[in-house]
Chain A
Amino acid sequence: MGMSFQPVFLWTDALLFLLLLACVLAALHVRNTEPLRDAWHKVGRRPTGMAAATVLCAFVLVGLLDSLHYRPRLPELPAAADASISAAAAHKGEAVYSSEVLSALDALLAPLRLQTEKTYSAPFAFTLYQRETVQAPGGGQERIYPRLVHGAAHLQDPAAERGGDVALRTLAALGLAAAAWAIAFLIAAWRVARSERLPWDEAVSALLRGRTVLAWRAALATLAVLLVIVSAWATLAPHYHVFGTDKVGQDVLYLALKSVRTALVIGTITTLVMMPFAVALGIAAGYLGGWVDDAVQYVYTVLNAIPGVLLIAAAVLMMQVVIDTHPQWFDTAAQRSDARLLALCFILGITSWTGLARLLRGETLKLRELEYVQAARAFGASTTAILRRHILPNVMHIVLIALVMDFSGLVLAEAVLSYVGIGVDPTTISFGTMINMARAELAREPMVWWSLAAAFVFMFALVLAANLFADVVRDAFDPRRS
């Protein structure tokens, strides 16, 4: 007997979890290093920082759930239906797995993924958006708005019952959210009581008045909003299409949630893959000088000279040719679109490392002349030792600031590039592909606005949170800002 699923590891999954591991290790390092801990405390003391971090955590959770991929096992075929396959499989005791790659998020959102309609339907609708001709019961034909297969299908008379049903379910969601929030509140109060050595009642009142060292109140308030939204989806989405359905009848909320992973991959993996180049070349150019400096400066001037979009376009066109002429490299469609996503990250990385390298070169030029570096050199420390122990730790704040500042720009860039046709694979669900498809829908009468609205809301929340968080991190780590 085989397992009921077969895990699939995509390249971007591996890199995302590698990044998560790096974050955990970095967090452990920060705990034990006084100055770094202080800087992060500065981030935590700012209400905007905590609120933005809470929103980002929610997005990251969705992205990580969507990065655990597997292929479900196909149900055993009746022996008569396809004797050859099932007999062979049964003979070897092997399971047959679907060629469709799913993720943990897909399993969690199974109702949303599977409850597809025929075509467009508005948010909370109970009929399709278009009239259809059907056979009237008494003979002849009628043009009516047909009922949806899944949306509001549990109601007998949806026009009358829908309002009450939605209100009831929202009420239940509020209760659910309040219960979950109370648990989060107690955990926060316990943490405050422990870390600030306060008795319980004082910890609770400090938390409510926002007088704690870290801005827990802002985080809890944001969490409350998030919990209300998520539990409302949890109670409503199985019975209604909260954001409507798209042209082929897929639930738009499902598409929006799936887009989050693509945005996170583009926003983080790009910086991850370009960072080693930028750090190594920037520091080497600044510290070693001479021909190394000339060579690095030449390379980044050449790359900078080409307008970004055109360089990306040229590289993506060529990558497309490589992928299309080598279909044998990929087992499943998911692997092919993943390869394209990863290649896009590399291409964006190649075009964007120059800015960071230039900053690092400038900073290293300054550090090289400082007394402690000169002292290390006078003691005969090797170049690699000086770079590793004295230069690298002192430019890491620039790397961190670049990492968080670039994220929002990359998420926005993905949408534009996918619109231009040089972004992710058209089969990959992303904000760019959502907007691209929604664009033609605005011209319809009556207008189909909900896909665009969903993409807007999700993207705005993600990018705004990232921008606010980046500002707070920059303020905390940039020594020039007080």
Chain B
Amino acid sequence: MFAYLVRRVLYAIPILIGVNLLTFVLFFVVNSPDDMARMQIGVKRATPEAIERWKVERGYDKPMFYNPAVSGSARVTDTIFFNKSLRMFAFDFGSADDGRDIAREIRERMGPSLAIALPTFLLSLYAAISMALLLVFFRATYLDFWGVVGCVAMMSISSLFYIIGGQWLVSKLWSLVPISGYATGLDATRFLVLPVAISVIAGIGSSVRWYRTIFLEEISKDYVRTARAKGLSELRVLFRHVLKNAMIPILTGVVVVIPLLFMGSLLVESFFAIPGLGSYTIDAINAQDFAVVRAMVFIGSVLYIVGLILTDLSYVLVDPRVRLE
């Protein structure tokens, strides 16, 4: 198993290199740094001096891959590719347009992001699985039918409406919790209740339907018939047999997103003014802060790969037949 882990981590390296090259091509080859400077300064005010100053401030004034002006190893290291792309592997992201260190900012903002994303994740998982089991228990009845119709209807509403509607109803009309903002410590709860509740409700339609499909697929298998033939009650069949055997497809979809919880949610954080990574990303997109977007792309892909490895490990935990070699 240790050998397997090492191999998986080694596999991750070419993928990260691919991500890195792709972002490099997107950010530096499709457009030259001059183009970016002209766009950010504004086409009318972009004098050659202003463009040059913009590039020097951000370290974009160097050659792309090879710098003949200096000597020694600096010929390779004193380039855009090395400084902006390769340094990311050491989690050195440089500084944002406002001069702050991106890596530090990311460390500080992970906490608030997790404070929303983790409760949302756990509550959604719990609510969706129990509701799906309920629908499967009452399968082929009116409850099941209308439950599915409700899920499809809820899926058809944009998450923007859930957020806008929830904020308006709970914060503005009923004045139960503040509309937006964030605090540290226990005081944060009153700011977190609404965004977490809204995120859970917004996602429940599609996830209940997904889990219901998984359970229904399991329930038509032979071992379930055997379990029923033994005289087990339907509840016992569902919880002891179906739920356990459905773990593999459930884990495939669920574990991979756990590391990504660190990234937070773009929409919820920006609507509720929560100083997490999601709102950081949105602010960077709106301010066209390319360095931050590049850093977030890299972090996101690292977390995704960690998620894939965790998924494989989780199979071992729930299914004794799976061996990682």
Q: Chain A: residues with CB nearer than 8 A to chain B?
A: 298-299, 301-307, 309-311, 313-315, 317-318, 320-322, 324-325, 408, 412, 415-416, 419-422, 431, 435, 439, 442, 452, 456, 459-460, 463-464, 467-468, 471
Of B19, B38, B155, B285, the contact of A421 (CB 8 Å cutoff): B285
Interface SS of chain B = helix
Top 3 A-B pairs, shortest CB-CB distance: A302-B18, A305-B301, A307-B300
Interchain CA distance A321-B35 in the complex, whole Å = 7
Interface 9-residue window, one of B24-32, B47-55, B109-117, B233-241: B24-32
Chain B residues within an 8 Å CB radius of A467: 152, 155-156
Interchain CA distance A94-B39 in the complex, whole Å = 38
Interchain CA distance A408-B15 in the complex, whole Å = 31
Q: How far is the CB of B42 from chain A (nearest CB, A)?
A: 10
Nearest chain-B residue to A315 (Cβ)? B26
Interface pair A298/B35, CB less than 8 Å apart: no
Nearest chain-A residue to B302 (Cβ)? A305
Q: Provided the pairs A298-B14, A310-B293, A325-B39 are in contact, do residues A305 and B305 lie with their beta carbons within 8 angstroms?
A: yes
A307-B304, A310-B293, A442-B168 given. 16 additional CB < 8 A pairs? A301-B18, A305-B18, A305-B301, A310-B300, A317-B293, A321-B30, A321-B35, A325-B43, A419-B160, A420-B270, A420-B285, A435-B160, A435-B161, A435-B164, A463-B158, A467-B156
User: Interface size on B (CB < 8 Å)?
Assistant: 47
Interface pair A301/B156, CB less than 8 Å apart: no
Of A408, A416, A421, A422, the contact of B267 (CB 8 Å cutoff): A416
The contact sample of 16 A-B pairs, CB cut-off 8 A, is A301-B15, A304-B304, A306-B297, A307-B300, A310-B293, A324-B43, A416-B267, A421-B285, A422-B285, A435-B158, A435-B164, A463-B155, A463-B157, A464-B152, A468-B152, A471-B152
Interchain CA distance A452-B162 in the complex, whole Å = 12
Interface pair B15/A302, CB less than 8 Å apart: yes
Q: Provided the pairs A302-B19, A314-B293, A318-B30 are in contact, do residues A408 and B156 lie with their beta carbons within 8 angstroms?
A: yes
Nearest chain-B residue to A463 (Cβ)? B156
B296 at the interface (CB under 8 A from A): yes
Interface pair B19/A305, CB less than 8 Å apart: yes
B23 at the interface (CB under 8 A from A): yes
Interchain CA distance A431-B160 in the complex, whole Å = 11
B290 at the interface (CB under 8 A from A): yes
Interface pair B294/A314, CB less than 8 Å apart: yes
Interface pair A321/B158, CB less than 8 Å apart: no
B266 at the interface (CB under 8 A from A): yes
Interface pair B38/A460, CB less than 8 Å apart: no
Of A304, A318, A419, A456, the contact of B26 (CB 8 Å cutoff): A318
B274 at the interface (CB under 8 A from A): no
Nearest chain-A residue to B297 (Cβ)? A310
Chain A residues within an 8 Å CB radius of B305: 305
Interchain CA distance A314-B304 in the complex, whole Å = 17
Chain B residues within an 8 Å CB radius of A325: 31, 35, 38-39, 43
